[in-house]
């Protein structure tokens, strides 16, 4: 359906607020926005209240869009988000630092994270710095000459146990989460404050050039990062 390609659904939760949004990608605006301010003193997510919030608002979105909500982007703001930096340092036997060399280094870093944190689902993988000839770079420059190459990468992740509890609720509406997003990371990235759904949409579409994007296999058009990040799928 055309609408399916033009519209995105976002569910945002934090200990003090729930939000749900129907976002028009073409015009970059919300077609539906509903937020619930919570007064939770224990700083935890009340999944019972979340279910009541979804009972009402999923129906309203479906009525407005004329189609079922099947997929949703999940935006999470909570101290349960796990952050860790991983460094990769390698000797370069080809002398020149190529895109292929970078690809292999990123795959190695991702595998290292999954090996050490098997109970975590990656939300974001962000390249903080490149080190070539012991000089730091904040963006990749291809074909620089160096014997050694290093990366500093930040991972943001969410526990599989929380995902399990969340999915049990969403199963009642036959909704599948297609991407987990760190709401604080997204908000802090933009200097100008715009709607949350628009910020998330831009991040998901490569607004941060140093974020590694996870894409489905066989996409129609492949950029530099996308060509090898599909290997992570």
CATH 3.30.1490.110 segments of the chain: 82-156
Q: What pLDDT is recorded for position 173?
A: 95
CATH 3.30.420.40 domain position(s) in the chain: 2-79+159-208
Task: Determine the length of the chain.
Answer: 233
- Provide the b/e sequence for 63-99 (b: ≥16 CB within 10 Å): eebeeebeebbbbbbbeebbeeebebeeebeeeebee
Q: pTM, whole model, 2 decimals?
A: 0.85
Q: pLDDT band at 85, cuts 50/70/90?
A: very high
Around 181, how many Cα atoms within 13 Å sit in the side-chain half-sphere? Answer: 29
Neighbours of 37 (CB within 10 A): 8
Dist CA 60 CA 56 (whole Å): 7
Q: Classify 11 in phi/psi space as left (phi over 0), alpha (psi -120 to 50) or beta.
A: beta
pLDDT tens digit sequence for 140-189: 766 667 677 788 999 999 999 999 999 999 999 999 999 999 999 999 99
Both tokens assigned to 97: 């630092």
Pick the CATH number of 2-79+159-208 from 3.30.70.920, 3.40.190.10, 3.30.420.40, 3.30.200.20: 3.30.420.40
> How far apart are alpha carbons 233 and 231 in whole angstroms?
6
Higher local confidence (pLDDT), 88 or 155: 155
145: Cβ–Cβ under 8 A, 6 or more apart, which residues? 95, 96, 97, 133
Largest CA distance in the chain: 60
Q: What is the pLDDT of residues 50-79, one digit of tens each?
A: 999 999 999 999 999 999 999 999 999 998
Model pLDDT for residues 1-50, shown as the tens digit of each residue: 434 469 999 999 998 999 999 999 999 999 999 999 998 666 778 888 99
Mean pLDDT of the chain: 86
Compute, in degrees rounded to 10, the torsion defined by CA atoms 23, 24, 26, 27: -100
- Give the pLDDT score at 193: 81
Say yes or no to pLDDT of 102 above 70.
Answer: yes
Taking the C-alpha atoms of residue 206 and residue 213, their distance in angstroms, rounded to an integer, is 7
The CATH class given to the 82-156 domain equals alpha beta
């Amino acid at each position: 359906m055309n609408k399916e390609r033009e519209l995105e659904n976002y569910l945002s939760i934090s200990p003090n607020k729930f939000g749900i949004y129907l976002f028009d990608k073409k015009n970059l605006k919300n077609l539906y926005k509903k937020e619930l301010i919570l007064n939770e003193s224990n700083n935890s997510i009340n999944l019972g209240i979340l279910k009541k919030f979804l009972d009402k608002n999923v129906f309203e979105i479906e009525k407005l869009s004329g189609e079922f909500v099947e997929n949703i982007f999940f935006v999470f703001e909570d101290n349960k988000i796990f952050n860790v930096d991983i460094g990769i340092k390698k000797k370069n036997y080809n002398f020149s630092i190529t895109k292929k060399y970078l690809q292999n280094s990123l795959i190695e870093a991702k595998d290292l994270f999954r090996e050490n944190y098997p109970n975590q689902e990656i939300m974001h993988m962000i390249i903080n710095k490149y080190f070539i000839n012991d000089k730091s770079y904040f963006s990749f420059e291809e074909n620089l000459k160096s014997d050694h190459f290093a990366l500093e990468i930040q991972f943001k992740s969410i526990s599989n146990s929380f995902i399990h509890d969340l999915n049990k609720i969403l199963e009642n509406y036959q909704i599948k989460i297609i991407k987990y997003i760190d709401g604080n990371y997204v908000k802090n990235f933009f200097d100008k404050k715009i709607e949350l759904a628009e910020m998330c949409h831009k991040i998901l579409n490569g607004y941060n050039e140093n974020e590694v994007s996870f894409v489905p296999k066989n996409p129609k058009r492949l950029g530099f990062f996308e060509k090898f990040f599909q290997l992570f799928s």
